[in-house]
């Protein structure tokens, strides 16, 4: 069960409680689920009971108890615990990761795309005429479109040719320099063009807009100290494993994985939420940091994906291969939204 599916399951529980007369309240349009906070437990938590308590005229914990009973009847949920003033903490079944991996592989590079920003009119973004501002404008527009938004981009003055030819920046329009620019991050301290498109864009996008970006050759080094290298290396290794498995005569097949892969499963499950938040807050650095999290969770798994020596491929190998392929898919899709290439070979 993916976070989107779980959100729908919780919403369905609310509607059932209303239909059966247990709650007198208008169901919300959507329910947010997220990893539990301090004091929580399980795989996901939601504060929907607290949101409904006032309109329902009942204590939040009573509302939570009503919803808990309906959630326990839903498939794919092992347990629901009510904590604090009325948070619902949900533990998923062992097959939850199977559905998640299958969903990632089915959606491909569009996993995490949604329509939360559709139907809100055209989002008009204007960037200052500065290299970091226009690169951030480009990335923000990509992320907004991934969530269904219609976007029109402008630059306060003409683009320098190298911003387009080297860094891949495109805008829909150019306006007068005097027009107020909404996209105005801390300027780059030096020209990132010498780093090339991929490293240059990562240097400009991987730190928060209010922070001073580091423009140096550290983004080009091929070692673990470089986060961009780790992300691209993890993707390339995932693709190599798929090729190597083909040579050994087996393919990925989503299945139950061990507890050692829980951090990676959680990172993949979080991707739609992180991407939606990065788009809504115009913060490509959030997506960049999340890709590093996915890569760092994937790398320890890689040595155990393929059988060793005379060992025959097992269901566990197929399941780990599917998980690695799903992680590589998320890394490639996320890099693409940042305007960065995800090569199959490094």
Say if CB 211 and CB 287 are below 8 A apart.
Answer: no
**Separation CA 269–CA 274 (nearest Å):** 10
Q: What is the pLDDT of residues 8-64, one digit of tens each?
A: 899 999 999 999 999 999 999 889 898 888 888 888 899 999 999 999 999 999 999
The pLDDT of residue 73: 85
Q: Where are the alpha helices (DSSP H) in 147-218?
A: 161-165, 196-205
20, burial (CB in 10 Å: exposed 0-12, middle 13-18, buried 19+): exposed
Half-sphere exposure of 236 (CA within 13 A, CB side): 12
Q: What is the pLDDT of residues 83-120, one digit of tens each?
A: 999 999 998 876 678 888 999 999 999 999 998 888 87
**Alpha-carbon dihedral of residues 115, 99, 231, 277, nearest 10 degrees?**
30
Say if CB 67 and CB 14 are below 8 A apart.
Answer: yes
Half-sphere exposure of 126 (CA within 13 A, CB side): 12
Q: Give per-residue burial for 240-274: e unless 16+ CB within 10 Å, then b.
A: bbbeebeeeebebebbebeeebebbbbbbbbbbbb
φ/ψ (deg, to 5) at 170: -130, 140
The pLDDT of residue 94: 63
The pLDDT of residue 178: 62
Residues of the chain with pLDDT under 50: none
Quickly tell me which residue has 């992300």 as its tokens.
231
**Separation CA 279–CA 145 (nearest Å):** 9
Instruction: State the DSSP string of 65-85.
Output: HHHHHHHHTSTTEEEEEEETT
């Amino acid at each position: 069960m993916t976070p989107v599916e779980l959100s729908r399951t919780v919403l369905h529980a609310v509607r059932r409680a209303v239909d059966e007369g247990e709650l007198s309240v208008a169901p919300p349009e959507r329910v947010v689920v997220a990893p539990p906070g301090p004091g929580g437990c399980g795989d996901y938590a939601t504060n929907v009971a607290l949101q409904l308590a006032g309109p329902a005229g009942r204590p939040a914990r009573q509302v939570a108890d009503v919803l808990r009973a309906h959630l326990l009847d839903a498939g794919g949920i092992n347990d629901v615990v009510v904590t604090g003033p009325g948070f619902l903490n949900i533990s998923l079944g062992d097959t939850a990761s199977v559905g998640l991996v299958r969903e990632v592989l089915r959606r491909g590079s569009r996993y995490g795309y949604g329509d939360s920003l559709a139907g809100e009119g055209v989002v008009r973004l204007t960037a200052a005429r500065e290299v970091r501002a226009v690169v951030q404008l480009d990335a923000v527009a990509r992320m907004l479109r991934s969530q269904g938004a219609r976007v029109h981009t402008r630059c306060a003055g003409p683009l320098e040719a190298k911003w387009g030819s080297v860094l891949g920046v495109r805008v829909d329009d150019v306006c007068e320099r005097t027009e107020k620019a909404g996209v105005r991050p801390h300027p780059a301290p030096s020209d990132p063009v010498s780093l090339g498109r991929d490293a240059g864009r990562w240097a400009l996008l991987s730190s928060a807009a209010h922070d001073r970006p580091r423009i140096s050759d550290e983004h080009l080094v091929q070692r673990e100290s470089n986060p961009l290298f780790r992300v691209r290396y993890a993707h390339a290794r995932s693709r190599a494993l798929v090729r190597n498995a083909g040579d050994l005569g087996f393919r990925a097949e989503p299945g139950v994985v061990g507890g050692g892969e829980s951090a990676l499963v959680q990172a993949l499950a979080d991707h739609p939420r992180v991407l939606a938040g990065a788009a809504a807050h115009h913060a490509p650095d959030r997506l960049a940091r999340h890709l590093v999290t996915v890569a760092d969770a994937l790398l320890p798994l890689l040595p155990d994906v393929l059988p060793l020596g005379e060992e025959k491929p097992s269901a566990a190998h197929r399941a780990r291969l599917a998980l690695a392929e799903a992680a590589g898919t998320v890394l490639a899709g996320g890099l693409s939204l940042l305007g960065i290439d995800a090569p199959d070979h490094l």
